[in-house]
């Protein structure tokens, strides 16, 4: 109780100063003791205070990472991702849905309510302007520009997302973050076979602007009040907004595609995208496509052999030269071109030279020679980079330098990582 009161007081201060970066500024010693993201504390759920009088769900970062993954079914092994991509990715989605769907939309995907299997969240996604909001733990993602989601979409809209790892992936998160004050990047060099990461992406776009969102599950979340502002500042006001399910991303570590990348990435769009069938609820989604390589051999043109696009879905854009990307994503990249850059120190996710970004980087190999691979996991890379930057700010030798580092951080935040912005 005492802690709650104190954190609300700290929250009020945080809102006026730097809501999302509240942990980076000084607090009273009593609050600091009860804080999170410290060397001996739990990881933060969110550093954004809840709205006054909030009675709805509160995000709790699932962080009891297991030492060993229990044996589990892997239903996607019944399908070859290269020849049966549709059945493959749908079976992974069904695995992700199992135990996570409930009649109450707001309590769906709460890991502590899932009695079938455990899902976990990656730590240190809570920093800065784009960090987790407090109700569902959503981070701010790339803004959708006009006409990217649907023809006739005249405004740009903010997007928000939350990701989950299954137990095999969570074992690695636990190994990397065993010592909360000294993470070990090398532990994330290779995620185990059967790792699944899945991410729910929600949009502030209205049904009027994007008609296929009709019937989409909605969550109320505490995000930037202006849904059309592409670069909110830490001081921008927040409000409880309704966001709609737009996209579901999936990544699977599968050795059957080891000769390309070792990873299968797939994405779903709510309502089947423009012109899709009407319906409602979590299951009313259709695969946009699946990819297991960047097709480096087709950069001069020619058919893609490592991306499958669902012929029944017609998005305004996918990725580079028709490689897979989701509705929210940057059309000049692909799922795997971005994720291949997961490394420490952080790599550059999007660049001008297609030969470099659309090569097939084998799982466990760093994008830039000499760095530590983080095996296609960008949440682990973002978390580590944010941890390191927070330490740099905290240990700045003078107040002037400290203010300078903080300002640098805020400037970098104007473009979220999912837009190809720096990972700090
Ligand atoms: C512009 C680069 C970029 C593109 C393109 C991209 N992602 Fe990501 N993705 C990120 C970043 C950065 C994160 C970590 C931060 C976050 O969650 O937003 C991430 C996180 C994820 C996660 C959570 C687990 C993890 O690996 O960190 C999944 C799953 C995922 N993306 C799948 C996809 C899929 C599927 C596609 C293509 C449809 C895709 N991504 C396209 C940058 C990208």
Name the band, by pLDDT with cuts 50, 70 and 90, for residue 18.
very low
Give the pLDDT confidence score for residue 338 in this predicted structure.
97
Whether the per-residue pLDDT at 284 is higher than 50: the answer is yes
CB neighbourhood size of 367 (10 A): 21
pLDDT value of position 376: 98
Q: Is the pLDDT of residue 6 over 50?
A: no
Q: What is the pLDDT of residue 26?
A: 30
E-state strands within 273-383:
285-291, 307-309, 343-344, 372-373
What percentage of the chain carries pLDDT values higher than 70?
Answer: 91
Phi, psi values for residue 412, rounded to 5°: -60, -35
Long-range pairs, 301-309, Cβ under 8 A, ≥24: 306/260, 306/360, 307/334, 308/85, 308/86
Span 253-270, mean pLDDT?
A: 98
Give the tokens for residue 159.
């997007």
CA of 13 to the centre of ligand 1 (A): 32
pLDDT above 80: residue 17: no
* Cα 329 from Cα 349, distance rounded (Å): 12
User: Quick check: 224 pLDDT over 50?
Assistant: yes
Is pLDDT above 70 for 424?
A: no
DSSP character at residue 83: T
Cβ(166) – ligand 1 distance below 6 Å:
no
pLDDT above 90: percentage of residues in the chain: 87
Report the DSSP beta bridge partners of residue 223.
239
Asked if residue 139 has its Cβ within 6 Å of ligand 1, the reply is yes
DSSP 166-231: -HHHHHHHHHHTSSTTS--GGGGSSPPTT-EEEEEEEE---TTTSGGGTT--EEEEEEES-TT-SS
Domain boundaries, the chain: 2-419
Residue 60 burial class via C-beta count within 10 angstroms: exposed 0-12, middle 13-18, buried 19 and up: middle
- Bridge partners of 264, per DSSP, are 252
- pLDDT band at residue 62 using 50, 70 and 90 as cut-offs: very high
**What's the pLDDT at 105?**
98
CA of 329 to the centre of ligand 1 (A): 9
Tokens 């994405």 belong to: 267
Mutation choice for ligand 1 from 96, 170, 251, CB with most ligand atoms inside 8 A: 251
Task: pLDDT band for 410, please (50, 70, 90 cuts).
Answer: confident
Pick the closest to residue 315 from 265, 271, 249 (CA basis). Answer: 271
Instruction: List, in order, residues 6 or more apart from 78 with CB less than 8 Å away.
Output: 87, 91
Q: What does the block give as tokens for 25?
A: 């500024």
pLDDT digits 0-9 by tens, 109-139 = 999 999 999 999 999 999 999 999 999 999 9
State the pLDDT confidence band at 423, using cuts at 50, 70 and 90.
Answer: low
Structural tokens at position 105 = 């939309």
User: What does each C-alpha distance from 198 to 169, 229, 264, 309, 363 come to in angstroms?
Assistant: 11, 27, 12, 19, 18
CA angle 110, 249, 300 (to 5 degrees): 170
Q: Which of 96, 204, 196 is nearest to 141 (CA)?
A: 204
Outline where DSSP puts E strands in 292-356: 307-309, 343-344
The answer to whether 272 touches 312, Cβ cutoff 8 Å, is yes
CA of 374 to the centre of ligand 1 (A): 13
Q: How far is the CA of 2 from the centre of ligand 1 (A)?
A: 38
- Tell me: the pLDDT tens digits for 316-343? 999 999 999 999 999 999 999 999 999 9
How many Å lie between the centroid of ligand 1 and the Cα of residue 207? 25
Q: Where are the alpha helices (DSSP H) in 59-139?
A: 85-97
CB atoms within 10 A of CB 42: 15
C-alpha span between 121 and 113 (Å, rounded): 14
**pLDDT tens digit sequence for 371-389:** 999 999 999 999 999 999 9
Nearest to 118, CA basis, from 167, 164, 160 = 167
Contact present, 331 and 338 (Cβ < 8 Å): no
| Between 127 and 29, residue with greater pLDDT | 127
Structure tokens at 373: 């691979």
Residue 392 has pLDDT above 60, yes or no: yes
Farthest CA pair distance, the chain: 64
Q: Which of 105, 96, 213, 90 is nearest to 159 (CA)?
A: 213
Q: Residue 345: is the preceding peptide bond cis (ω within 30°)? A: yes
Does any ligand 1 atom lie closer than 6 A to the CB of residue 249?
yes
Q: Three-class SS of residue 399?
A: helix
For residue 422, what pLDDT band results from cuts at 50, 70 and 90? Answer: low
Residue 1 pLDDT more than 50? no
89 pLDDT higher than 90: yes
Amino acid 181: pLDDT = 97
Q: By alpha-carbon position, which residue is closest to atom 32 of ligand 1? A: 249
Mean pLDDT, the chain, whole residue set: 91
């Amino acid at each position: 109780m005492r802690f709650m009161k104190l954190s609300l007081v700290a929250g009020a201060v945080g809102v006026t100063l730097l809501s999302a970066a509240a942990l980076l500024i000084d607090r009273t010693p009593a609050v600091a003791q009860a804080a999170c993201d410290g060397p001996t504390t739990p990881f933060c759920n969110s550093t954004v205070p809840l709205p006054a009088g909030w009675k709805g769900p509160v995000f709790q970062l699932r962080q009891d990472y297991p030492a060993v993954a229990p044996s589990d079914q892997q239903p996607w092994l019944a399908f070859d991702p290269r020849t049966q991509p549709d059945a493959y990715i749908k079976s992974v989605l069904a695995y992700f849905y199992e135990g996570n769907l409930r009649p109450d939309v707001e309590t769906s995907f709460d890991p502590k309510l899932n009695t079938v299997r455990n899902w976990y969240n990656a730590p240190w996604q809570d920093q800065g302007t784009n960090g987790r909001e407090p109700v569902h733990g959503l981070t701010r993602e790339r803004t959708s520009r006009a006409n990217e989601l649907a023809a006739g979409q005249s405004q740009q809209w903010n997007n928000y997302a939350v990701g989950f790892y299954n137990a095999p992936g969570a074992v690695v998160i636990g190994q990397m973050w065993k010592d909360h004050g000294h993470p070990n990047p090398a532990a994330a060099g290779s995620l185990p076979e059967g790792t699944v990461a899945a991410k729910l992406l929600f949009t502030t776009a209205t049904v009027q602007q994007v008609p296929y969102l009709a019937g989409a599950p909605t969550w109320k979340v505490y995000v930037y009040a202006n849904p059309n502002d592409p670069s909110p500042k830490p001081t921008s006001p927040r409000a409880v907004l309704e966001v709609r399910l737009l996209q579901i991303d999936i990544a699977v570590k599968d050795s059957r595609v080891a000769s390309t990348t070792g990873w299968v990435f797939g994405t779903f769009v709510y309502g089947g995208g423009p012109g899709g069938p009407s319906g409602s609820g979590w299951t009313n989604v259709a695969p946009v496509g699946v990819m297991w390589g960047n097709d480096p051999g087709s950069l001069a043109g020619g058919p893609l052999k490592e991306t499958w696009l669902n012929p029944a879905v017609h998005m305004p854009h996918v990725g580079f030269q028709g490689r897979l990307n989701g509705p929210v994503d940057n059309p000049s990249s692909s799922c795997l071109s971005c994720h291949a850059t997961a490394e420490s120190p952080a790599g550059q996710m999007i660049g001008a030279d297609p030969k470099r970004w659309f090569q097939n980087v084998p799982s466990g190999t760093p994008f830039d020679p000499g760095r530590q691979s983080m095996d296609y996991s960008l949440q682990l890379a973002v978390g580590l980079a944010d941890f390191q930057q927070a330490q740099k700010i905290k240990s700045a030798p003078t107040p002037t330098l400290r203010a300078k580092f903080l300002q640098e951080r805020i400037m970098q935040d104007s473009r979220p990582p999912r837009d190809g912005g720096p990972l700090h």
